[in-house]
Amino acid sequence: MANPSLSQLFDLSEQGALVTGGALGIGQAIAFRLAEAGAGVLIADIDLAAAQETASQIEARGGRARAVRADVCRAEQVDEAVHAALAAFGRLDIVVNNAGIFPLQPVLDVTEETWDRVLDINLKGAFLVAKAAAQQMVQAGRGGRIINLASVDALHPNGMATPYNASKGGTLMLTKGLAVELAPHAIRVNAVAPGGITTPGSDAARAHVSGALRVPDAAILQGWIQRVPLRRMGEPDDVAKVVLFLASRAADFITGECIVVDGGYLLS
Ligand SMILES: NC(=O)c1ccc[n+]([C@@H]2O[C@H](COP(=O)([O-])OP(=O)(O)OC[C@H]3O[C@@H](n4cnc5c(N)ncnc54)[C@H](O)[C@@H]3O)[C@@H](O)[C@H]2O)c1
């Protein structure tokens, strides 16, 4: 059989996708790219108004999108989101576990509640979504792709982020475990590990550190950029393009892998 053409490789039309935390930031950029490639995209987010706004922007550009309110750490809301994707697009082929939080605190100040919340959203949520989606993918028998948002902090610990580092380290092993177990069903599972990306969440985190350390926000930003060999912050679309690659047929033989998208940060 002839190899697919370049446009066929990245053609996701007919397919259904679910992006958690897709209302804003990196998740929004991922939703835009998947929709541009032709997929119907269900945005599942705790911020319904922002999710609806993102879905409207996709539709205004001629794409297909729906929005639902769902908290990824609530199994029944995850099931509802998966069924909403099936109802909207007739199938579910691509799932992106993007919803995540990153509270920054010295480890000695971290409460049990904070630990549970970070692990619940970042790690348990990814498991719940992957499981609910994979059940549908296995039943449909068409395979699928699951892409998990890890972080450079999964590979190199960031200060003041012990629960986050642990949750993202767990995300990498969740990715590998799912990849092995779901491979017989032609479901590929991969991760992306972003470095510093400009988003509403990372802006808020930096503002929090700026206040706590009494260091100007701009100084913290410049300090970070100086550690990045490519000398800039990442944009959400820097990550979305890699997620699109992993969701596409261009990545047909990749599973259990993690692609770092950090401008070289981990090299420094
Ligand atoms: N921004 C970065 O520098 C960076 C770096 C590495 C990894 N990441 C990871 O990328 C992902 C997205 O980060 P971002 O910077 O775009 O975040 P963000 O805070 O800007 O946006 C996160 C989105 O997730 C939603 N969300 C939060 N909790 C949720 C829940 N329980 N259920 C459903 N939706 C929920 C929010 O409403 C929001 O729309 C996260 O997993 C984050 O850990 C981000």
Q: Write out the DSSP string of 100-118.
A: -------GGG--HHHHHHH
**Mutation test residue for ligand 1: of 102, 174, 235, the one with most atoms within 8 Å of CB:** 102
Mean pLDDT by 10 residues, the chain (268 residues): 94 98 98 99 98 98 98 98 98 99 96 98 99 98 99 95 98 98 99 98 95 94 97 98 99 98 97
Per the CB < 8 A criterion, the answer to whether 100 and 239 are in contact is no
Residue of 19, 24, 42 with the most ligand 1 atoms within 8 Å of its CB, for mutation: 24
Ligand 1 nearest-atom number relative to CA 152: 6
Helix ranges (H only) for 42-159 are 48-60, 75-89, 112-119, 125-140
CB within 6 Å of ligand 1 — which residues? 20-21, 23-27, 45-47, 50, 70-73, 98-102, 121, 125, 149, 151, 194, 196-197, 199-202
Contact 186, 249 (CB under 8 A): no
| 177 CB-near residues (< 8 Å, 6+ apart) | none
Q: From the centroid of its chain, how far is CA 163?
A: 18
pLDDT at 186: 98
If you measure from the C-alpha of residue 199 to the centroid of ligand 1, how many angstroms do you get, rounded to a whole number? Answer: 8
Ligand 1 atom closest to residue 233's alpha carbon, by position in its atom list: 3
In terms of CATH, what superfamily is 8-195+235-261? NAD(P)-binding Rossmann-like Domain (3.40.50.720)
Paired residues of 24 in beta bridges: none
Looking at the chain, the domain(s) classified CATH 3.40.50.720 span 8-195+235-261
Mutate to test the pocket of ligand 1, among 197, 206, 233, 259 (most ligand atoms within 8 A of CB): 197
Q: In this predicted structure, what is the pLDDT of residue 153?
A: 98
Q: How far is the CA of 1 from the centre of ligand 1 (A)?
A: 41
Residue whose CA lies nearest to ligand 1 atom number 23: 21
- Measured from the Cα of 22, ligand 1's closest atom is 39
pLDDT at res. 45: 99
**Catalytic positions:** 164
Q: Which residue has the tokens 């909403």?
A: 84
Confirm if 150 and 171 have CB atoms less than 8 A apart: yes
Q: How close is the Cα of 219 to the center of ligand 1, in Å?
A: 23
Atom of ligand 1 nearest to the CA of 99: 24
The pTM (predicted TM-score) of the whole model is: 0.98
